[in-house]
């Protein structure tokens, strides 16, 4: 199963991006041979960043990682906003974009994505927050620039239908570490992983033989549940902190884990 990490952004005590900590985290991921890194994703705290900060962050990561793994930049918003961001980084070498879809009819979404796929001219993974129809996703799978689709809906029937679209040129990705065993059994080929920031080999290890992967997964199940409880940003940063990778400083509106959740994460960590 392909493992793309939804990358956390470390911050210093003054709230600035902490690039030494980011180097440590990137080295940790690269040394464990992750398949890809998603920049400005769900746990990146991108909404707190200015355009200049986003540009600087992308440039740093692309320059530091180079060709050692695939890099995908998360994008969303109207066409003009996306094209403007693309214009700032178009000369940088990265694999492609993760395009977040939050509204629109079937016809409108198809037009929107088709236009951007031509305009951006890079690989695109669709991040679906509106539960697109099977027919729309099937149609997108034939676009040479659309290389994947992220399942945000965890209804089993929907997962079964969409996973059947997967093929060599079009991967279906899970969006939740907790569903990895279900995904493996459905033939899903990838995951956008949060816990992979700390345990990048988790996906690879769970993909082993059936009895081993069940036992291995159960060791992580409680920890994953607690990471996805409340704010994933606060939880994953605290887990990274107790693993001595980065600090747990966040930007508003986020804070730090409450004491009860911290204790649960610490217990889960010690039981691995």
Neighbours of 215 (CB within 10 A): 9
Tens of pLDDT, residue by residue, the chain (272 residues): 899 999 999 999 999 999 999 999 999 999 999 999 999 999 999 999 999 999 999 999 999 999 999 999 999 988 988 999 899 887 788 999 999 999 999 999 999 999 999 999 899 999 999 999 999 999 999 999 999 999 997 788 889 999 999 999 999 999 999 999 888 889 898 999 999 999 999 888 887 666 767 778 888 999 999 999 889 999 999 999 999 999 999 999 999 999 999 999 999 999 98
Largest Cα separation within the chain, whole Å, is: 50
Contact indicator for 245, 24 with CB cutoff of 8 Å: yes
Separation of alpha carbons 202 and 196, rounded Å: 7
pTM comes to 0.95
| 66 three-class SS | coil
User: For the chain, where are the alpha helices, taking DSSP H only?
Assistant: 19-31, 51-65, 79-89, 106-120, 134-140, 156-163, 180-186, 202-206, 210-227, 232-242, 259-271
Sign of CA dihedral 186, 190, 195, 200: positive
Separation of alpha carbons 2 and 62, rounded Å: 20
Separation of alpha carbons 48 and 250, rounded Å: 10
């Amino acid at each position: 199963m392909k493992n793309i990490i939804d990358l956390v952004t470390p911050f210093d005590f003054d709230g600035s991006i902490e690039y030494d900590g980011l180097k440590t985290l990137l080295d940790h991921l690269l040394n464990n041979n992750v398949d890809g890194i998603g920049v400005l994703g769900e746990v990146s705290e991108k909404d707190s960043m200015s355009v200049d900060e986003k540009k600087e962050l992308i440039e740093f990561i692309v320059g530091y990682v180079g060709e050692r793994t695939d890099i995908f930049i998360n994008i969303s918003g109207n066409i003009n906003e996306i094209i403007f961001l693309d214009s700032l980084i178009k000369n940088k070498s990265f694999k492609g974009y993760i395009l977040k879809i939050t509204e629109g009819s079937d016809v409108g979404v198809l037009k929107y994505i088709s236009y951007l796929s031509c305009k951006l001219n890079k690989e695109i993974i669709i991040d679906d927050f509106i539960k697109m129809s099977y027919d729309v996703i099937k149609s997108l799978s034939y676009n040479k620039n659309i290389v994947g689709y992220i399942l945000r809906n965890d209804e089993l029937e929907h997962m079964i239908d969409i996973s059947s679209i997967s093929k060599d040129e079009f991967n279906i990705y899970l969006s939740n570490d907790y569903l990895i065993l279900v995904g493996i059994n459905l033939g899903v080929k990838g995951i956008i992983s949060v816990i992979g920031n700390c345990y990048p080999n988790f996906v690879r290890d769970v993909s082993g033989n059936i009895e081993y992967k069940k036992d291995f997964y159960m060791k992580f199940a409680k920890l994953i549940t607690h990471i996805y409880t409340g704010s994933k940003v606060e939880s994953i940063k605290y887990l990274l902190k107790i693993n001595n990778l980065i600090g747990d400083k966040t930007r508003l509106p986020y804070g730090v884990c409450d004491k009860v959740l911290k204790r649960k994460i610490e217990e889960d960590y010690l039981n691995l």
